[in-house]
Amino acid sequence: MNLMEYQGKELFKRAGIPVPRSGHAVDAHQVADYIEKTVGEWVVKAQVLMGGRGKAGKIKFANTADEGRSVATDILATPMPPNRQNPKGEPINSLLVEEKLPIAKEAYCAITIDRTAKKPVIMVSRFGGMDIEEVAEKHPDSIAKFYVDTAIGYSPFIGRELAFESELDAGYRKQLPSIVGALYDLFFRYGAKLVEINPLVLTTDGKVYASDAKVELDDDALFRNPEFAEWQKHLPLDEDEQLASKAGLGIRNFRRFDGNVGTMANGAGLAMATMDAVTNAGGKIANFLDVGGGANAERVRNCYELVVNNTGAKAFFINIFGGITRGDEVAKGIVQAMEETSSRKIPLVIRLTGTNEEEGRRILAKAGMTPVETMDEGAKRAVELAK
């Protein structure tokens, strides 16, 4: 779960990371109200998950309530424009009104997980306010890294070392160790996969603030902080994610494409291999669908309806290799789907092997269905049927 800036900053505040004064607003009226009540110079920022807000004109300054109303109206008028990662753009549902900082320097600080080292890695760069990928390309040596021993955790020397190694302006030095420490606490306490401050601002009066906040929480750890379920409601799910969620799947278990061969498999690896098999057979895939481990008949039926009703599939290849998933349960689900559903019916190619395979085949046979033997065979057949 990726958090919006205002949500990330709420966590920053709790962890003791200094953030500028701010107010969250859902319309231009609230923006004007906030500025009216709180004298100062302000920045109004679109609250979206996509990057590139500045370039898209979704961050604007305002010194009076009227200016605030006006820029807020501007920002809210159009959604975030699409980019490569987000081909549909993103609607803007709220704004953050934030104190304008007298910026002297901008730096970068983040903590994420290094899969190979199997450790949290803290990164600091003296180049802030720009895409870190760009920094990594242009100034690779400017990024200082520290791999944290999880048995020890954070200790202030880490922040000191990073400040010296990244050659941060001396003005950061005193404050960095405690800010990085607080960021590490947050990272660990809330089970984050990424926490990022970009830019980490040094003001002309020598203070350090997190001027932006990017937090990605581990979905698997959300149960430890039930309040995040509430936050999640305010986050935009794209249509695919909404559909997956409604069907009782993980939001990442379903994704649509332009093709006409529907696919479903158990396990992400097999589901990807199934898509590859359809492509290899000359077909175009209509979707990715991982039905998950240990799926029961009802889940299988839901998935059938999900694909048939929401994709351009003209044929449907169901590829199950049972392990924790049992063939009999899958077969029952398919039979139920075909018998009970009110959805349109499309040609079905089933491949069913592994755990309880025989029982599954018996159930399918009773309903007049004969599974194919291999994945390649099934893919080929489905591609033909979709033509």
Binding site for other proteins (CB under 8 A): 84-85, 113, 115-116, 118-120, 133, 149-152, 155-157, 160-161, 164, 170, 173, 188, 191, 193, 218, 220-221, 223-224, 250, 252-253, 255, 257, 265-273, 275-277, 279-280, 285, 288, 290, 293-294, 320-325, 353-355, 357, 374-376
Which of 56, 104, 96, 100 is CA-nearest to residue 78?
A: 56
Q: Could you tell me the smallest distance in angstroms from the CB atom of residue 208 to other proteins?
A: 16
- Decide: 121 and 150 in contact? Cβ < 8 Å: no
- At 156, is the secondary structure helix, strand, or coil? helix
- At 193, is the secondary structure helix, strand, or coil? strand
**C-alpha–C-alpha distance, residues 17 and 274, integer Å:** 46
Cis bond before residue 82 (omega within 30° of 0): no
- At 63, is the secondary structure helix, strand, or coil? coil
Closer by beta carbon to other proteins, 20 or else 181: 181
Closer by beta carbon to other proteins, 96 or else 195: 195
377 part of the active site: no
Closer by beta carbon to other proteins, 37 or else 115: 115
Q: Could you tell me the smallest distance in angstroms from the CB atom of residue 149 to other proteins?
A: 7
**C-alpha–C-alpha distance, residues 9 and 210, integer Å:** 8
Which of 311, 309, 376 is CA-nearest to residue 349?
A: 376
**C-alpha–C-alpha distance, residues 173 and 160, integer Å:** 7
Angle at 348 (CA atoms; ends 345, 354), nearest 5 degrees? 140
Q: Could you tell me the smallest distance in angstroms from the CB atom of residue 220 to other proteins?
A: 5
Q: Which residues pair with 217 in a beta bridge?
A: 192
227 part of the active site: no
- At 241, is the secondary structure helix, strand, or coil? helix
The catalytically annotated residue of 6, 34, 106, 108 is: 108
Closer by beta carbon to other proteins, 20 or else 292: 292
Q: Could you tell me the smallest distance in angstroms from the CB atom of residue 187 to other proteins?
A: 8
- Decide: 250 and 292 in contact? Cβ < 8 Å: yes
- Residue 133 has a CB neighbour count (10 Å cut-off) of 8
Q: Could you tell me the smallest distance in angstroms from the CB atom of residue 92 to other proteins?
A: 21
Closer by beta carbon to other proteins, 32 or else 281: 281
Q: Which residues pair with 288 in a beta bridge?
A: 255
What's the burial of 4, exposed, middle or buried (CB within 10 Å: 0-12/13-18/19+)?
Answer: buried
Q: Could you tell me the smallest distance in angstroms from the CB atom of residue 359 to other proteins?
A: 13
The catalytic residue positions are: 108, 196
